[in-house]
Amino acid sequence: MIVALIDSGFGLLPTAAWLRKLRPDVDLLLQLDPEGAPWGPRPQDWVVDRVVSAARTARDLGAEVVVLPCNTASVTALEHVRADLGAGVPVVGTVPAIKPAAAACRSVAVWATAATTASPYQADLIARFGGEAKVTGVACHGLAEAVDRGDMAGVRAAVADAAARTPADVEGVVLGCTHYPLIVDTIVAALPDGVRLFDSAQAVAAQTVRRVEALGGPAIGDGTVRVYLSGRPGELPPGAAAYEPGRLLGAG
């Protein structure tokens, strides 16, 4: 059983980690797009084409379940991917954890990329699941990109900017981009004491496991992880000279 996870960058890692914990026997195909990243500022049609193309590649490489552990990809392209792959390949999207946050907190901020914050999809989620809570969208400009670059000065600056635009009475912050759990300590340090964080990686992984098990039979595998990257071979670290765009990079 091969499960593919598709994201522009490192945002797929929290969901991959939970999948490894829940079903260590499942083989994972991690598809990152350094050539096209970041997806957030890109035009909608461009993102749809990019994500659908990546999903087709996943299918061709043997993936039986496809996961979009990326809010931008899910908001923009989830239904397009499902239509393209058909009913035979389950596709799991990512939804910001607005419902549990609103159930537990009176004031909630949803930190996300500018594209997700402005999307009708997020507005609909807030309307459907916000309940009695006050829910505010906060666009975190440049934060996902800084995470992908490993630019901690940029991360701290983007987090500080988002925190400054977050309501003072906030009780819960929804991490509405899958990159953000990777710098959770920085986010916690920028928020008032006692603010709760909510993210969806565990829930997405659990849903993926349900889809895997619904296919029937054991998920026979040895826990192999393969990484598939788009272009930019000239920017790879030393020792990767044999890399070619679109080539699978090893197992481990």
Q: Where in the sequence numbering do the catalytic residues fall?
A: 70, 177
CA 244/CA 10 separation, integer angstroms: 20
Residues in CB range of 242: below 8 A, 6 or more apart = none
CA 232/CA 246 separation, integer angstroms: 10
Q: Angle, to 10 degrees, between the axis of helix 120-129 and the axis of helix 71-85?
A: 100
Structure tokens at 124: 């609909």
In this structure, are residues 222 and 198 in contact, taking their beta carbons and an 8 Å threshold?
no
Residues in CB range of 188: below 8 A, 6 or more apart = 195, 197
